[in-house]
Amino acid sequence: MSLDLIEPILFGLLALAIVGAGLGVVLAGRITTSALLMAFTFLNMAGMFVLLGAETIAAFQILIYVGAITVLILYGVMFTPQGPRAYGLFFQKQTTVGAVIAALAALPVMAVAFAFRDAGNVPPRGGDLVPLASSIFTDFAFPFEAASVLLLAAMIGAIVLVKRE
Amino acid sequence: MVPGPLGLDPFVWLFLRLLIAVVLALVLILNGALVLIYLERKIQATMQDRIGPYHVGPFGLLQTFADALKLIAKEDFRAGQTDTAFFIAAPALVFSPMLASFVVIPFAPGIVGADLNIGLLYLATLGSMGVLGIVIAGWASNNKYSLVGGLRSAGQLISYEVPGILSLVTAVLVVGSLSMVRIAESQPGPFTNIFVIPLAFVTYFIAALAETNRTPFDLPEAESELVAGYLTEYSGMRWGTMLALTEYGNVTIVCAIMSTLWFGGWQGPGVDSGPVTGPVLGLLWFTLKTYAFILVFMWIRATLPRLRIDQLMSFCWKLLIPLTLLNLAVTATLLIAFPETKVPVAIANWILLGAFVLGLPLIQQRRLRRIRARLRERTIAAAPAS
């Protein structure tokens, strides 16, 4: 037994956990369970990034998605009034429509995934801090700035929406 | 693959090494928590002119061990309507990120779990994960005090993470690396980062107090308002894990971060004297520096009263975050303008620190005057009606 075998095993475990927890998020009947399973999915995604050698992205994944977004979702859940009516709004049972839409969305993803053969010229350690930072601030400066403007607009919108009067 | 000692198969050694590291970290945290609780009680007793624990063992040294044994032996008791799975999961969710944080802390030259090149980011990440467990604990207890405690804690931790991480980033800019080992190595001799970026240290210190739920920011467990906050329904070793182990573990970690980033970590006289004495002395300096900060935390707990939740939030969002952002911008600009020397950064930082310390009373005076004016208007407006 050697280390070569560990990587596929880890990949399999992580993939199973991601798909299983993702299904759990959709199918669970309680909003807190869904939120916690979502955090679990994000953690496993971070594990995938570590497996790919992109520890920086994995750390940001956990920092932002587990540490901030999931907590904010839980925060929101706890401020919503609890009762059977609220759950009825959260969990709509439109299984057939949902299944058809999911299948339609899955088809292009699967087509891309099965057409994938070779990663080509990916530089080793491309997910490290320094290459990541330099590519964000040189090659992808415009998308990065556009995303920050979008976030700023969203934040101002949220403040305007919740401001009294 | 690293070949093991004594001709061990590298594959076996891989798992054995992991096991040894985890056991060492657990022993460190368990004993560290016991020692810290004893210190906390003794120091508070001294400051309040009491004796503190003195019955069990010499100087009461074994008191906390007895307490821990009692906690372990306690019945596993849960209130009827708690959310079982979440209730059991919450202490683990709080404890495991704290345990994992010890991996990247450089205890001495060459003694570190893993020299990650994103060490500080890793610590910040794990620090943010603990919030999830606290919120879940508050939710699962099915108790309004727990819920409010959990929510307060989430708000407080998320708010104070921002100035904390911004101060860390300022230190990282000055050092030029996120690796904890590189940061410790970059400060040889007496000229450590504290002389270069004192303001970042002060802001991080405040944020660290808030992130570890220590006084004056211990609102989530304010006993006069919230019983014990998110810990209300917990008892036995679950309570011990959540409160004693995790709180003191987190205090140890933030103090280790402070001593590494601003005070050179294991740097001190005689750390390069030899292959054996070097690491031993390094460990000694590191422990002394870390425990010095822990003692300051305890001193603050015995001295300062608790803040109100609105004071806490407005201090963070209106003062601390703008200040750390300004500090970050000034530091980054000066580092780009003068890449060879850190003197301009140091001058700017000391000036900003002076402005912060001297400006606080002025801001407070203005705030009080405004509040009094508003009160007076309200009484004048209410007078004709009565």
Q: pLDDT digit string (tens) for B153-189?
A: 888 888 888 899 899 988 888 888 888 888 888 887 6
B171-201 burial: b if 16+ Cβ within 10 Å, else e: bbbbbebbbbbebbbbbeeeebbbebbbbbb
A59 and B135 in contact by Cβ < 8 A?
no
Indicate the SS3 state at residue A155. Answer: helix
Dihedral (C-alpha) A102, A108, A111, A115: value to the nearest 10 degrees? -140
Which residues of chain A have a CB within 8 Å of the CB of B150? Answer: 78
Q: Looking at the complex, does the CB of residue B30 fall below 8 Å from at least one CB of chain A?
A: no
Residue A81: both structure tokens together: 């009034």
Q: What's the DSSP call for residue B222?
A: -
Identify the pLDDT of residue A152: 93
A75 and B147 in contact by Cβ < 8 A?
no
**pLDDT, averaged across chain B:** 82
Within 8 A by CB and 6+ apart from B339, the residues are: none
Q: Nearest Cα to B237, choosing from B35, B77, B96, B79?
A: B77
Q: In 10 A of CB A119, how many CB atoms?
A: 6
Indicate the SS3 state at residue B111. Answer: strand
Residues, chain A, total?
165
Distance from CA of B147 to the nearest CA of A (A): 8
Amino acid at residue number B373:
A
Identify the pLDDT of residue A16: 93
**Residue B23 and residue B29: Cα distance in Å, rounded?**
10
**Residue B2 and residue B336: Cα distance in Å, rounded?**
41
**Residue B138 and residue B149: Cα distance in Å, rounded?**
7
Amino acid at residue number B81:
Q
Given a cut of 70, whether residue B205 has pLDDT beyond it is yes
**Residue A6 and residue A86: Cα distance in Å, rounded?**
45
Which pLDDT band holds residue A153 (cuts at 50, 70, 90)? very high
Which residues of chain A have a CB within 8 Å of the CB of B132? Answer: 36, 39, 66-67, 70-71, 74
Amino acid at residue number B299:
W
CB A57 within 8 A of CB A48: no
Q: What value does the mean pLDDT take over residues B211-228? A: 74
Q: Nearest Cα to B216, choosing from B325, B130, B304?
A: B304
Which residues of chain B have a CB within 8 Å of the CB of A82? Answer: none
Distance from CA of A59 to the nearest CA of B (A): 6
Identify the pLDDT of residue B128: 82
B118 and A74 in contact by Cβ < 8 A?
no
Residue A6: both structure tokens together: 């560990």
Q: Nearest Cα to B38, choosing from B28, B57, B52?
A: B52
A62 and B83 in contact by Cβ < 8 A?
no
Residues 145-184 of chain B whose Cβ lies under 8 A from any Cβ of chain A: 147, 150-151, 154-155, 158, 161, 178
CB B286 within 8 A of CB B304: no
Which residues of chain B have a CB within 8 Å of the CB of A37? Answer: none
**Residue B148 and residue B124: Cα distance in Å, rounded?**
25
Interface mutation target, options B128, B141, B169, B177, chain A, most CBs of A under 10 Å = B128
**Residue B33 to residues A161, B64, B103, B256, B294: CA-CA distances in angstroms?**
46, 9, 18, 15, 12
Q: Nearest Cα to B222, choosing from B135, B277, B153, B144?
A: B153
**Residue B200 and residue A151: Cα distance in Å, rounded?**
27
From B83, B89, B132, residue closest to A71, measured CB to CB? B132
A71 and B131 in contact by Cβ < 8 A?
yes
B128 and A66 in contact by Cβ < 8 A?
yes
Say yes or no: ipTM exceeds 0.85: no
Given a cut of 60, whether residue B1 has pLDDT beyond it is no
Identify the pLDDT of residue B222: 67
Distance from CA of B158 to the nearest CA of A (A): 7
Cβ burial of B11 (10 Å; 0-12, 13-18, 19+) is: middle
Give per-residue pLDDT as tens, B24-52. 777 877 788 888 888 888 888 888 888 88
Number of inter-chain CB pairs under 8 A, A vs B: 72
Q: What's the DSSP call for residue A98?
A: H
Q: Looking at the complex, does the CB of residue B129 fall below 8 Å from at least one CB of chain A?
A: yes
Residue B73: both structure tokens together: 């032996």
Identify the pLDDT of residue A124: 64
Sign of CA dihedral B354, B355, B356, B358: positive
Which residues of chain A have a CB within 8 Å of the CB of B104? Answer: none
Distance from CA of A66 to the nearest CA of B (A): 6
Cβ burial of A67 (10 Å; 0-12, 13-18, 19+) is: buried
**Residue B298 and residue B302: Cα distance in Å, rounded?**
6
Q: Is the peptide bond prior to B216 cis by the omega test (within 30 degrees of 0)?
A: yes
Which pLDDT band holds residue B2 (cuts at 50, 70, 90)? low
**Residue A49 and residue A21: Cα distance in Å, rounded?**
17
Collect all residues from A whose CB is shorter than 8 A from any CB in B: 1-3, 32, 36, 39, 55-56, 59-60, 62-63, 66-68, 70-72, 74-75, 78, 128-129
Indicate the SS3 state at residue B332. Answer: helix
Q: Looking at the complex, does the CB of residue B312 fall below 8 Å from at least one CB of chain A?
A: no
**Residue B153 and residue B229: Cα distance in Å, rounded?**
9
Which residues of chain B have a CB within 8 Å of the CB of A32? Answer: 83, 86, 136, 139
- pTM, two decimals, is 0.83
**Residue B327 and residue B174: Cα distance in Å, rounded?**
12
- What's chain B's Rg over C-alpha atoms? 23
Q: Looking at the complex, does the CB of residue B98 fall below 8 Å from at least one CB of chain A?
A: no
Distance from CA of B143 to the nearest CA of A (A): 12
Give per-residue pLDDT as tens, B97-132. 888 888 888 887 777 777 778 888 888 888 888 888
Residue B198: both structure tokens together: 């004192």
The string of DSSP letters for A43-73 reads: HHHHHHHHHTT-HHHHHHHIIIIIIIIIHHH
Within 8 A by CB and 6+ apart from B125, the residues are: A59, A60, A62, A63, A67
User: Which residues partner with B108 through β-bridges?
Assistant: B111
Which pLDDT band holds residue A93 (cuts at 50, 70, 90)? low
Within 8 A by CB and 6+ apart from B232, the residues are: B141, B143, B145, B146, B149, B226
**Residue A133 and residue A60: Cα distance in Å, rounded?**
13
Which residues of chain B have a CB within 8 Å of the CB of A1? Answer: 11
Indicate the SS3 state at residue B65. Answer: helix
Give per-residue pLDDT as tens, B46-61. 888 888 888 887 887 8
Q: In 10 A of CB B28, how many CB atoms?
A: 15
